[in-house]
Structure 1
């Protein structure tokens, strides 16, 4: 819809008010002038350098498969295990494979109690197991 000005013989007013546009452009110009020097300052980054040296990584040990069945019985790689022995067995494995810890794969029955899983996870944390996976 066009606006009509008084005394303009009923023709629509076709002038555009550019003052707000100029104000916005001046503000943007000032912002760019202030921020441009900051963008030009180099940021030191330590990147890794290429080397031809081959890094020897030992093969990971076989994973530990820990299963909790519906009766809250624990199985270590298919062998029954008492709840009290989980901490000692995990600590033993952590000492045997120091620096290259095996993956702990935990499979829990949906009917297993939460307390048993909490004890198993606490034992894994206390043994400083780094890789824990939940499997079905």
Structure 2
């Protein structure tokens, strides 16, 4: 059993036998685990609802895209804009921290004059993060 002699043979053992105590505690722990009902955690979340009355912010915080189609129409993230509206959007992006990237993608058939005017608006707005997207469409031209 769990008995041991003292320091010298013949002396009584002074240490308490903790094995039965540990066994009883483990049995009680298992009984409590089994009898506790399973808790289901439900968290109520109020999701935003789509409504037409809330104006959407046309400026994305990461990257925005300016494109020009064949007819010379300017688009900001897919929505048609004028030169004045484009400048207002660019002025708002320049003051954001960090400044979002601006992706510029003109159509290959767009008039150079329109593309040049848009690039001038971008330059006057002091945009520092500008990238030309879709240059691979011109690789066969040269």
TM-score (norm 1): 0.51
Indicate the residue corresponding to 2:110 in structure 1. 112
Residues of 1 paired with 2:62 and 2:104: CA distance? 14
Deviation at 1:84, TM superposition (A): 2.9
Q: Distance in 1 between matches of 2:113 and 2:99?
A: 25
CA RMSD of aligned residues (A): 1.7
Structure 1 segments (4+ residues) deviating >2 Å: none
For structure 1, the residue ranges without an aligned partner over 5 or more in a row are: 1-59
- So what's the TM-score if we normalise by structure 2? 0.49
Aligned twin of 1:89: 89
Structure possessing the higher radius of gyration over alpha carbons: 2
State the shift of 1:83 in Å: 2.5
- Alignment match of 2:100 (pick from 99, 102, 115): 102
Give the CA deviation at 1:70. 0.2
Specify every segment of 5 or more residues in structure 2 that has no aligned partner in the other structure, as ranges: 1-59, 135-142
> Are residues 1:125 and 2:123 paired?
yes
2: distance between equivalents of 1:74 and 1:90? Answer: 13
Superposition pairs of residues 15-54 of structure 1, within 5 angstroms: none
Contact 2:83 2:121 in 1 (8 A): no
Aligned to 2:18: none
Q: Which residue of 1 aligns with 2:68?
A: 68
